[in-house]
Amino acid sequence: MKNQGKRLGLAIIGGGRVGLFRGEVAARHPMVEWIGLAEKNPNRAGEVGARIGADFVTQNHVELVERSEVNCAIIATDEHLHVDPIMACIERGIPMLIEKPLATRLDESARVLEAIRKAKLDAVVGYTQRFRRRWLAVKEKCRSGALGDVTLVTSRAFMNRLVAIDNYKRTDDPSTISPMVISGTHALDICMWCLEPKIPVEVYARSIDKVLGPLYKGIDATAGMIMFEDGTLYHLNISWALPISWPAAVYSLEVGIVGTTGVLTIDDTHRDVVLAVSNPQSEGYNPDASRLVDFMGSYPPGDMALGALRGPMAQETESWLNRVSLGLPTAAATVEEAHRNLMLTKALDLSARRKAPVALPLDPDEVKAAA
Ligand SMILES: NC(=O)c1ccc[n+]([C@@H]2O[C@H](COP(=O)([O-])OP(=O)(O)OC[C@H]3O[C@@H](n4cnc5c(N)ncnc54)[C@H](O)[C@@H]3O)[C@@H](O)[C@H]2O)c1
């Protein structure tokens, strides 16, 4: 007999951009019977609650998580505010889809990882790019040995400064926010996924802060290297301080993967579909009236078309709902991988600050001491 699946009572904590996208997808899913929303901002809570047809709306995530209907949760709060809602869900034994990064501090990420392991909970992290066909196909070529032994990976991520400004404005501790931790983590996750199961042993990096430093005590760009146990090299850089007029809505990426018997190059810059308009458009990331040219497809969650989100965040959300309801496997990042990603990005930032190599694994106390 076919598996009938578990009917879902979904808690969405954080009703911002991502909470709304995921909530709209969940509202269409046949196994979702009940949706509750916790959103701190009352105006936003009312607006998003109505758009996703929420059965219960509150400003308090504890009140939501305590509802008897809830049997799974999406944590979509700001990057530095994931930990409290995650802990509340762990206490109630609720499986979770947590937005990246797991936390913005390495000690908090380690605490969350430990608590999830101890509770033996199914929790995955929103590394949404894994759900794109191109990265799945690339992963398969690396996994199946088409390139031989992968020896060198290189990634270049370019972003205009809208995401950086938004992040620095929202935090009261800019030292926990960096291009690597907040955004570079997506490219890093994809490349580390392709390099699986190689073990990173050392990082080296340098940063520059001529634009965002004076304005927000922020970092513009970081370039670095990750060295692996077997000598493999991953060379990566990210700038999130390009002018606002740079046409990618968010992410523009180029990746090269070189193996002993093959090579893969991936142009993920999104310059294949270019939109130019005379009047500003209202979609994308923090729409800015001065931006009249866009690389379409460069908004990582996907695009709204014909009344629904189309793209990787829709596929990721649907597959996670299938995972908790029907037990189907997914390509989602585990909490272990998410913690490893944070550890690597923190190590790159620390190396850049020290202007010296950093040995791995990085101890959370070392980051605290350096701060
Ligand atoms: N997977 C992806 O591709 C992807 C894309 C964009 C953003 N993100 C991640 O998603 C997360 C959310 O990003 P966003 O762009 O939606 O941010 P956002 O600022 O639009 O939304 C966050 C919302 O959470 C609310 N909030 C914060 N703490 C809360 C709490 N304890 N209870 C209830 N509400 C609370 C805020 O009021 C805000 O409305 C971040 O971690 C971000 O890095 C992931």
Closest residue (by CA) to atom 15 of ligand 1? 17
Q: Is the pLDDT of residue 287 over 90?
A: no
In testing the pocket of ligand 1, which one of 13, 48, 99 has its CB within 8 Å of the most ligand atoms? 99
Q: Is the pLDDT of residue 330 over 70?
A: yes
Rg, the chain, Cα only? 20
Q: Which amino acid is at 221?
A: A
Pairing outcome for strands 72-75 and 56-58: unpaired
The answer to whether 326 and 5 are in contact (CB under 8 A) is yes
Specify the DSSP element, H or E, that contains 77.
none
Give the mean pLDDT of the chain: 95
| Residue 367: per-residue pLDDT | 85
Going from the Cα of 39 to the center of ligand 1, the distance in angstroms, rounded, reads 10
Three-state DSSP class for 205?
strand
Residue 303 has φ and ψ, to the nearest 5°, of: -130, 145
Q: What is the mean pLDDT of residues 180-205?
A: 97
Q: Give the number of the atom of ligand 1 that is nearest the alpha carbon of residue 77.
A: 24
Per-residue pLDDT of 72-107, as tens digits, reads 999 999 999 999 999 999 999 999 999 999 999 999
The answer to whether 329 and 122 are in contact (CB under 8 A) is no
- Ligand 1: does its nearest atom lie under 6 Å from the Cβ of 36? no
Q: Is the pLDDT of residue 147 over 70?
A: yes
- Residue length, the chain? 371
Q: Which residues of 170-197 are buried (b: 16+ CB within 10 A; e: fewer)?
A: ebeebebbbbbbbbbbbbbbbbbbbbee
Per-residue pLDDT of 111-123, as tens digits, reads 999 999 999 999 9
What contacts 160, CB < 8 A, 6 or more positions away?
Answer: 240, 242, 243, 244, 245, 246, 248
| Residue 368: per-residue pLDDT | 82
Peptide bond into 357 cis (omega under 30): no
Q: Which residues of 319-352 are buried (b: 16+ CB within 10 A; e: fewer)?
A: bbbbbbbeeeebebbebebbbbbbbbbbbbbbbb
Structure tokens belonging to residue 180: 């690597």
Q: What is the mean pLDDT of residues 257-265?
A: 98
Question: What is residue 252's DSSP assignment?
Answer: E
Q: Is the pLDDT of residue 1 over 60?
A: no
| Residue 196: per-residue pLDDT | 97
- pLDDT more than 70, % of the chain: 98
Going from the Cα of 40 to the center of ligand 1, the distance in angstroms, rounded, reads 11
Going from the Cα of 118 to the center of ligand 1, the distance in angstroms, rounded, reads 26
Going from the Cα of 15 to the center of ligand 1, the distance in angstroms, rounded, reads 7
Instruction: Report helix angle 185-195 to 133-143, nearest 10.
Output: 30
Q: What is the mean pLDDT of residues 274-299?
A: 84
Per-residue pLDDT of 23-57, as tens digits, reads 999 999 999 999 999 999 999 999 999 999 999 99
**Using CA atoms, how far apart are residues 183 and 164, in angstroms rounded to an integer?**
9
| Residue 290: per-residue pLDDT | 83
| Residue 4: per-residue pLDDT | 80
Band the pLDDT of 2: cuts 50, 70, 90.
Answer: low
| Residue 97: per-residue pLDDT | 98
Closest residue (by CA) to atom 33 of ligand 1? 39
**Using CA atoms, how far apart are residues 112 and 108, in angstroms rounded to an integer?**
6
Start and end residues for every CATH 3.30.360.10 domain found in the chain: 133-302+342-351
Per-residue pLDDT of 220-233, as tens digits, reads 999 999 999 999 99
* Phi-psi domain of 208 (left: phi exceeds 0; alpha: psi -120 through 50; beta: other): beta
The separation between CA 360 and the C-alpha centre of its own chain, rounded to angstroms, equals 22
Cα angle 84, 339, 226 (rounded to 5 degrees) comes to 145
Q: Is the pLDDT of residue 277 over 80?
A: yes
| Residue 371: per-residue pLDDT | 76
Beta-carbon neighbour count of residue 256 at 10 Å? 15
Going from the Cα of 300 to the center of ligand 1, the distance in angstroms, rounded, reads 14
Q: Is the pLDDT of residue 200 over 90?
A: yes
Classified by CATH at the fold level, domain 133-302+342-351 comes out as: Dihydrodipicolinate Reductase; domain 2 (3.30.360)
Band the pLDDT of 291: cuts 50, 70, 90.
Answer: confident
The answer to whether 73 and 10 are in contact (CB under 8 A) is yes
- Ligand 1: does its nearest atom lie under 6 Å from the Cβ of 284? no
| Residue 335: per-residue pLDDT | 98
Closest residue (by CA) to atom 28 of ligand 1? 77
Residue written as tokens 């109505």?
A: 50
- Ligand 1: does its nearest atom lie under 6 Å from the Cβ of 16? yes
Band the pLDDT of 288: cuts 50, 70, 90.
Answer: confident
Beta-carbon neighbour count of residue 128 at 10 Å? 25
Start and end residues for every CATH 3.40.50.720 domain found in the chain: 8-129+319-333
Going from the Cα of 17 to the center of ligand 1, the distance in angstroms, rounded, reads 7
Going from the Cα of 45 to the center of ligand 1, the distance in angstroms, rounded, reads 13
- The domain 8-129+319-333 is classified under which CATH number: 3.60.20.10, 3.40.50.720, 2.40.110.10, 3.30.1540.10? 3.40.50.720
